[in-house]
């Protein structure tokens, strides 16, 4: 199993308060799966990713990556936030090569490694521009490329398209699917958008209100490659209705 959450619970403690966020979470994700996590706002979806990246620590239970406890594992994972978090003083080239340079690559070698990907990610010709010169959609593509440059086959996405308008959101969803096909990545994807979760995923994990527990684990058996017209199909709408009922 690529990723396992075993009886994971998390409570945040303040000076005079405590907030129980996760309660006995058990999730298994196979290698190469695209798994989305949905649930009510504030239920703890992002906390799952924060635990995996050790932004947040001191939890109960265990998280395993490739069978090794997170506490003993040195496995690197890539993480993309809802905001693109591009550095405004760096060109797109210097932004997207940053993970390679931080991993020890020389700048000139990092430039060579990333060069073939600009066209694939729709950034060909924009390598030397700064983030404020790009549209929101192009900035997200640059952030995606930077995420792919992290040398890991595990990718975590925390609502990466939430701030994008509906038309460009679909384009980025399709873009992500196309990019993932050739990279064999295992993906955990947080979203509030039920249609987005269905369209992208192999499975959807549904969390309850806080403290979050897993209330459904739904396998999405729509054909791949996914096409836009699928969102209007009977099978798609049945899954959507089931998930809406689960969240009510």
What pLDDT is stored for residue 171 in this prediction? Answer: 80
Q: What is the pLDDT of residues 1-56, one digit of tens each?
A: 999 999 999 999 887 888 999 999 999 999 999 999 999 988 999 999 999 998 88
- What is the distance of C-alpha 192 from the center of its chain? 12
User: What's the rounded Cα separation, in Å, for the pair 221 and 203?
Assistant: 9
pLDDT score at 10: 96
CATH class held by domain 3-77+152-247:
alpha beta
Give CA–CA dist 206/40, Å, rounded: 9
Average pLDDT taken over every residue of the chain: 91
Answer yes or no: are the C-beta atoms of 92 and 142 closer than 8 Å. yes
Name which residue leads in pLDDT, 84 or 233: 233
Residue 248 in this model has a pLDDT that exceeds 90:
no
- Give the single-character DSSP code of 10: E
Q: Over the stretch 163-205, which tens digit does the pLDDT of each residue have? A: 777 777 888 888 888 877 667 789 999 999 999 999 999 999 9
Q: List, for residues 86-139, the tens digit of each pLDDT value.
A: 999 999 999 999 999 998 999 999 999 999 989 888 899 999 999 999 988 889
pTM: 0.90
pLDDT given for residue 215 in this prediction:
95
- Domain regions of the chain by residue span: 3-77+152-247, 84-151
Q: Is the dihedral of CA 170, 175, 178, 182 positive or negative?
A: negative
Q: Tens digits of per-residue pLDDT, 214-236?
A: 999 999 999 988 888 899 999 99
Give the pLDDT confidence score for residue 182 in this predicted structure: 66
Q: In the β-sheet with 214-219, what is the strand arrangement from edge to edge? A: 78-80, 154-158, 186-190, 34-38, 203-207, 214-219
């Amino acid at each position: 199993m690529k990723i396992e959450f075993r009886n994971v619970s998390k409570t945040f403690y303040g000076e005079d308060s405590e907030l129980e966020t996760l309660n006995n979470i058990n999730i298994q994700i196979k290698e190469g799966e695209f798994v989305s996590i949905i649930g009510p706002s504030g239920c703890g979806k992002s906390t799952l990713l924060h635990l995996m990246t050790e932004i947040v620590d001191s939890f109960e239970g265990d998280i395993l990556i490739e069978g090794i406890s997170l506490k003993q594992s040195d496995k690197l994972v890539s993480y993309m936030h809802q905001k693109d978090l591009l550095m405004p003083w760096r060109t797109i080239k210097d932004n997207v090569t940053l993970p390679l340079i931080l991993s020890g690559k020389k700048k000139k070698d990092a430039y060579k490694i990333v060069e073939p990907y600009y066209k694939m990610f729709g950034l060909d010709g924009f390598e030397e521009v700064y983030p404020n010169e790009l549209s929101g959609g192009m900035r997200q593509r640059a952030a995606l490329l930077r995420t792919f440059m992290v040398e890991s086959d595990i990718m975590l996405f925390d609502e990466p398209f939430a701030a994008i308008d509906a038309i460009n959101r679909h384009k980025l969803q399709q873009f992500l699917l196309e990019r993932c096909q050739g990279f064999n990545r295992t993906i955990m994807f947080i979203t509030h958008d039920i249609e987005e979760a269905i369209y992208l995923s192999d499975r959807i994990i549904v969390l309850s209100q806080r403290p979050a527990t897993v209330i459904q684990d739904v396998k999405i058996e729509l054909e791949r490659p996914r096409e836009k017209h699928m969102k209007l199909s009977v099978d798609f709408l049945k899954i959507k209705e089931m998930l809406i009922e689960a969240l009510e």
